[in-house]
A and B are shown apart, each in its own frame.
Chain A
């Protein structure tokens, strides 16, 4: 057994262990902490599988952002959990069902992987063969923005739908108000300090991750998550307040990405004879023209997902 193999086996056991712990953890907060650790370990697994793009997405979105959303949810649920009928039989049955279903899915996937023919069928050679036509250097970005751009368009729209879903939880009387609790800046506090120091650096890193995505691991979803995290950090430190959700500019920022994506997709009928088809001479330029507003929209949508439904009047 080589050292690398021992590492992989250890990593796999750790992932399964943390996953099990997440399900049996006896309160929601602990389960969320387990889930975040699980996501980070999973990112390591993707690195070991030579898929750095997926690893970045898993760490940023799967573990970081989803972890943040779940933490918010578990904080809101804490009140209901302390009541006496919590964590009784129904929860136990629910957990057993979760374990059963997870095991079933895992077993099904393992069976499929084991049944794959050797060598496994792959589209990788075709993806690499046409990559020059897209002007991109990263085959993952070529799949996301050229070969299967419609999937990416739908993902961006799904994010907007999720945000609409969260906003629709707000009662009518607070509709024209600000999301989440107001955080007050403490000018001597360490959170203010780190927000002032980290936010500019983080914005730079987010734009960098987005920009290198055309030729190296990275891309708009990963970059946008970092940008969103910086906005959330600035809000949590009280440096900026969340905008009222009815603001026209906010709606524009949220919609501009999918709108430009869709418009360029429609223009594809005239330019190259199909929805989301790019003429070869301008493919790279069009892809970047889509990616920039999409990154902005994703970042805004993700940050507002974390901020939550509108619940307080301005100034409170």
Chain B
């Protein structure tokens, strides 16, 4: 049994946790809705991506690994859409674009 996969898992998840923390700080500190959303999407996309990357080294077989990647892609899709919807609602005049 090699230590390398575990080390890679810990490094990737720590990096993911860093993005989540940065995103949360941004959510709390940024002045307006659009920049707060900007901070949050970084956490969702990169943070979760790195956590999934870390978990991939622990996956037993190809199918669980593919499921993890599918979860990440679905969260990316849902996150991006929700962000658009919130940003749309948060615009002062409510116009598209």
Q: Mark A184-218, 1 if CB is under 8 A from B, else 0.
A: 00000011011001100100000000000000000
When the two chains form their complex, are residues B81 and A194 in contact, meaning their CB atoms are under 8 A apart?
yes
When the two chains form their complex, are residues B85 and A191 in contact, meaning their CB atoms are under 8 A apart?
yes
When the two chains form their complex, are residues A194 and B74 in contact, meaning their CB atoms are under 8 A apart?
no
Chain B residues contacting A191 (CB-CB under 8 Å) are 81, 85
Does chain A have a CB within 8 A of B78? yes
The DSSP consensus for interface residues of chain B is helix
When the two chains form their complex, are residues A201 and B74 in contact, meaning their CB atoms are under 8 A apart?
yes
- Number of A residues near B (Cβ < 8 Å) is 7
Chain B residues contacting A194 (CB-CB under 8 Å) are 77-78, 81
Q: Mark B50-89, 1 if CB is under 8 A from A, else 0.
A: 0000000000000000000000001001101100110000
Which chain A residue lies CB-closest to B81?
A194
CB distance from B37 to the nearest CB of A (A): 14
Chain A residues contacting B74 (CB-CB under 8 Å) are 198, 201
When the two chains form their complex, are residues A190 and B77 in contact, meaning their CB atoms are under 8 A apart?
no
Chain B residues contacting A193 (CB-CB under 8 Å) are 81
When the two chains form their complex, are residues B78 and A190 in contact, meaning their CB atoms are under 8 A apart?
no
Q: How many pairs of residues, A versus B, come closer than 8 Å at their CB atoms?
A: 15
Which chain B residue lies CB-closest to A190?
B84
Bound-state Cα–Cα, A198 to B80, Å: 13
CB distance from B67 to the nearest CB of A (A): 10
Q: Which of A190, A191, A198 counts the most B-chain CB atoms under 10 A from its CB?
A: A190
- Number of B residues near A (Cβ < 8 Å) is 7
List A residues 273-310 near B (Cβ within 8 Å). none
Bound-state Cα–Cα, A201 to B77, Å: 12
Chain A residues contacting B84 (CB-CB under 8 Å) are 190
Bound-state Cα–Cα, A185 to B11, Å: 44
Which chain B residue lies CB-closest to A193?
B81
Bound-state Cα–Cα, A191 to B77, Å: 11
Chain A residues contacting B80 (CB-CB under 8 Å) are 190
Q: Which of A193, A194, A198, A201 counts the most B-chain CB atoms under 10 A from its CB?
A: A194
Bound-state Cα–Cα, A197 to B73, Å: 12
Which chain B residue lies CB-closest to A201?
B74
Which chain B residue lies CB-closest to A186?
B96
CB distance from A176 to the nearest CB of B (A): 33
When the two chains form their complex, are residues B85 and A197 in contact, meaning their CB atoms are under 8 A apart?
no
Bound-state Cα–Cα, A198 to B77, Å: 8
CB distance from B51 to the nearest CB of A (A): 15
Which chain A residue lies CB-closest to B74?
A201
Chain B residues contacting A201 (CB-CB under 8 Å) are 74
When the two chains form their complex, are residues B78 and A198 in contact, meaning their CB atoms are under 8 A apart?
yes
CB distance from B41 to the nearest CB of A (A): 14
Bound-state Cα–Cα, A190 to B81, Å: 6
Bound-state Cα–Cα, A198 to B76, Å: 12
Chain A residues contacting B85 (CB-CB under 8 Å) are 190-191
Bound-state Cα–Cα, A198 to B78, Å: 9
CB distance from B80 to the nearest CB of A (A): 8
List A residues 164-195 near B (Cβ within 8 Å). 190-191, 193-194
| 11 residue pairs bridging A and B, Cβ less than 8 Å apart | A190-B80, A190-B81, A190-B84, A190-B85, A193-B81, A194-B77, A194-B81, A197-B77, A198-B74, A198-B77, A198-B78
Closest 10 CB pairs of A and B: A194-B81, A190-B84, A190-B81, A194-B77, A198-B77, A197-B77, A191-B81, A191-B85, A201-B74, A190-B85
Known: A194-B81, A198-B74, A198-B78. 12 other contacts (CB 8 A): A190-B80, A190-B81, A190-B84, A190-B85, A191-B81, A191-B85, A193-B81, A194-B77, A194-B78, A197-B77, A198-B77, A201-B74
Tell me the B residues contacting A by CB distance below 8 Å: 74, 77-78, 80-81, 84-85
